[in-house]
Amino acid sequence: MDLSALAGNGPLKRQLSLETARHGLSHAYILNGPPGSGKHTLAGLLAAAFVCTGGGEVPCFSCPGCKKAAKGIHPDIIRAGGEGDELNVARVRALRSDAYIKPNEAPRKVYILEHAQDLNQPSQNALLKLLEEGPPYAAFLLLADNAAALLPTVRSRCQILNLSPVTAEEAEHWLAARFPDKSPGARADAACRCQGILGRAVELLDGGCVDGKAQEEAARLLELLCRRDELALMEFCVALERDKWDRDSLTALLDQLILLLRDALVYGAGGAVEEDRRAQASLAAQSLSQKAALQAVELAEKLRTACGSNVGVGHVAGWLGAGLAGIR
Ligand SMILES: [Zn+2]
């Protein structure tokens, strides 16, 4: 079974390949692991394997079934439990009725159930019935952040696939293939900061233009802070509101500012800083005392929390300007 699209998880991939080669696919799996650990990638591969009509190793990635699965338009792959689609008893019962309608074109019909850990007991009991009494062509992929929240009776009907965090090297390797246009430094940084959760690394790299802009503006803000140019600092922050920055962009800017200030602190203490941020860190370390840099980090962290609640962007921007101008 070709599971190469899933990063890391060598033992799990070997186990699954071996078992499917020997006994074929199981009729129910629990894909267990924290958000961003690869549950959706693995579910996509397994779902494709169920509907593959290539005749050889599954998934073949080239038959009509695999292609439709990859595009998310296969009529025999049914997703439930996503945002705004609560898996309550009625929903699970509806899935049960649906399961008795034969597949449209594939040999199997696959149900991908997200956030399975959130199912309450009555829903889980309805699910148990479906797992036990569903037609033989029906297959189930339960995605769970924490499989321990599922009833033992449900777990015992499924094969449990535990996804593990990947190593920084595995993450870097995977990111190199997925983000060839990003700098090796940025990929290494994301691989290191994601703590083995690739979804987080993707988020860090995928910010796209917003992140680029946040990065640029954070560098400018730091420069103004280093120059102690109070007026320019206030003007910068007034412009944030005038240019209609939203909370997410402002949070990204604060994240970047914190990163730059931390670099300065690390550099000032003789530690190592990523090559592409080293010059900036050196400059900031020369202009800002450790106390001033720490004050700025504290301010930025406080404001980031404020961005997460319902404080308006104008307030946060004003607070940022006044706060930074007041740092000595
Ligand atoms: Zn195929």
Distance CA 32, CA 142 (A): 8
Dihedral angle, C-alpha 230, 233, 238, 243, nearest 10 °: 160
- Cα 296 to Cα 19, 25, 180, 249, 287, distances in angstroms: 55, 55, 34, 19, 13
Q: For the sheet containing 28-32, what is the strand order?
A: 77-80, 109-113, 138-144, 28-32, 159-162
Rounded to the nearest whole angstrom, what is the distance from the C-alpha of residue 78 to the centroid of ligand 1? 18
Cα-atom radius of gyration of the chain, to the nearest Å? 25
Q: CATH for 10-162?
A: 3.40.50.300
Topology adopted by domain 208-325: Zinc Finger, Delta Prime; domain 3 (1.20.272)
The residues, ordered by sequence, that sit 6+ positions from 196 with a Cβ below 8 Å of its Cβ are: 8, 37, 164, 165, 166, 167, 168, 171
Rounded to the nearest whole angstrom, what is the distance from the C-alpha of residue 39 to the centroid of ligand 1? 20
Query: pLDDT (tens digit, 0 to 9) for every residue of the chain, 328 residues total?
Result: 889 888 889 999 999 999 998 889 999 999 998 877 889 999 999 999 999 999 888 999 999 999 999 989 999 999 999 888 999 999 999 999 999 999 999 999 999 999 999 999 999 999 999 999 999 999 999 999 889 999 999 999 999 999 988 888 888 998 998 889 888 888 998 888 877 778 778 888 876 434 678 888 999 999 999 999 899 999 999 999 888 888 878 988 998 898 889 889 989 988 877 777 888 899 999 999 999 999 999 999 899 888 877 778 889 999 999 999 998 8
Phi-psi region of 268 (alpha: psi -120 to 50; beta: other; left: phi over 0): alpha
Rounded to the nearest whole angstrom, what is the distance from the C-alpha of residue 324 to the centroid of ligand 1? 58
Rounded to the nearest whole angstrom, what is the distance from the C-alpha of residue 106 to the centroid of ligand 1? 10
DSSP character for 164?
Answer: -
Rounded to the nearest whole angstrom, what is the distance from the C-alpha of residue 104 to the centroid of ligand 1? 16
Q: Using alpha carbons, select from 260, 261, 246 the residue that is nearest to residue 317.
A: 246
Rounded to the nearest whole angstrom, what is the distance from the C-alpha of residue 65 to the centroid of ligand 1? 6
Rounded to the nearest whole angstrom, what is the distance from the C-alpha of residue 66 to the centroid of ligand 1? 4
pLDDT at 164: 86
SS3 115: coil
pLDDT at 221: 95
Distance CA 58, CA 107 (A): 13
Rounded to the nearest whole angstrom, what is the distance from the C-alpha of residue 3 to the centroid of ligand 1? 13
